[in-house]
Copies of this chain bind each other. A is one copy, B any other.
Amino acid sequence: MPVRKVINDPVHGFITVNDNLIWSIINHPYFQRLRRIKQMAMAHLVYPGAVHTRFAHSLGAYHLMCNALDELKQKGASINSEEEQAAKIAILLHDIGHGPFSHALEKTLVNIHHEEISLLLMNQLNIHFEGQLTLAIKIFTGDTEKTFLHQLVSSQLDVDRLDYLARDSFYSGVSEGVIGYDRIIKMLCIHNNELAVEEKGIHSIEKFIIARRLMYWQVYLHKAVVSSEQLLLNVLKRAKALSQLGRKLFASDALNLFLQKNLNLGDFESNLEYLEAFTQIDDDDIMCAIKTWAKFDDKILSDLSNRILNRDLFKTVVMDEESLSLYTEKENELMEKLNLTNDEISYYLITNTISNQAYDSNDEEINIMFKDGSIKEIGSMMHSLLSANVNTAVKKYYLCFPKF
């Protein structure tokens, strides 16, 4: 008899799981680990409510996948029960390869994109579940004729985005990010095996893209959020540098491994031990270590660690153009005040770019289907919001440095 589990979710109400394989996957340690990884990394330093986890997001995206598949089936799409199960598994596992504080981690501890790790972990799970995930993995990688199943997992209109925008808005309290995901799902349809949107959904799509744009600039790329992620990155960089110099830092075994070694995808593929170690680290390892490092006798590591713990963030200046003169000015100021060497200065003076493209008509375009069956890319429509500035990457420069 199939399970029937109902999970309370503050965003979607009740999430139902009624498939035994899916329930087993949820209960696997790889998936349970997502309970200990915050979806929005350090953004909670700015939006204190935003402490929700990748576990909840993955369940939420799964729930929207269920709704989307129901809707498409009601509209006559041919989706058999294997495909349905596989699409649900694909979305459930789409973030399985995320490490703690994802971007900071990918740039320091491991040097591998989280999607690659997701795929490695799915393959491991597929072995564990005796091949039952094969179709799910094909949908995840796009190796299917029913392109729309892959697009529901990964495209500019995937249920991943629908859930994370709704969820991140909900938890951060940034109500402007709220999207009408119900209506968008009601408007989905299929054309030539690809996902499309019914004509009357145009404005909902526009609003969804604008909401995404707003969430980027207001939340994900908020100055203090960027600043705290840079701080974390530098803490990990410093810890790794010290570790590799032979200093003994407090860390869980798994974290220690990644501090001492510089691993790449090849290493992960050839040695399963590394992948297993990867599944052992989560936000708690990092934060617990940082708390200890705050008392370590390296001035830089302890200072940066304390700043994260007590939210003493760097100031961030965002500019439309790069400014070398400001960089030099700050460099001199820092050297003078903090007495840092050239090597050390990079921990205190960070320059980088942030960019966001609300919609990209060159990448998995969003298509509108008209009542007569014809199709048009949304940005190419008359009066479309999305034909102009929205369909352009916006890039900004920033500089982070301590306030004095």
Query: Chain A interface (Cβ within 8 Å of chain B)?
Result: 4, 6-11, 13-14, 27, 29, 32-33, 35-36, 44-45, 47-49, 51-53, 55-56, 59, 74, 170-176, 178-180, 182-183, 186, 200, 203-204, 206-207, 210-211, 213-214, 217-218, 250, 252-253, 280, 282-285, 287-289, 291-292, 295, 309-311, 320, 382-385, 387-390, 392, 394
Q: Tell me how many chains of this kind the complex includes.
A: 4
Report the minimum CB–CB distance from A11 to chain B (whole Å). 7
* Cβ contacts under 8 Å, A178 to chain B: 175, 178
Cβ-defined contact, B44 with A48, below 8 A = no
Report the minimum CB–CB distance from A383 to chain B (whole Å). 5
Given contacts A180-B176, A207-B211, A389-B383, contact A280 B284 (CB under 8 A): no
* Cβ contacts under 8 Å, A182 to chain B: 13-14, 175
* Cβ contacts under 8 Å, A51 to chain B: 51-53, 56
* Cβ contacts under 8 Å, A186 to chain B: 6, 14
B179, B180, B214, B383: the one within 8 Å of A206 (CB): B214
* Cβ contacts under 8 Å, A390 to chain B: 385
Cβ-defined contact, A47 with B383, below 8 A = no
Report the minimum CB–CB distance from A279 to chain B (whole Å). 11
Contacts A8-B47, A29-B309, A35-B45 known; list 17 others, CB within 8 Å.
A8-B173, A9-B173, A27-B311, A32-B309, A44-B53, A48-B53, A51-B51, A203-B213, A203-B218, A206-B210, A206-B213, A250-B252, A253-B295, A284-B284, A284-B291, A320-B382, A384-B389
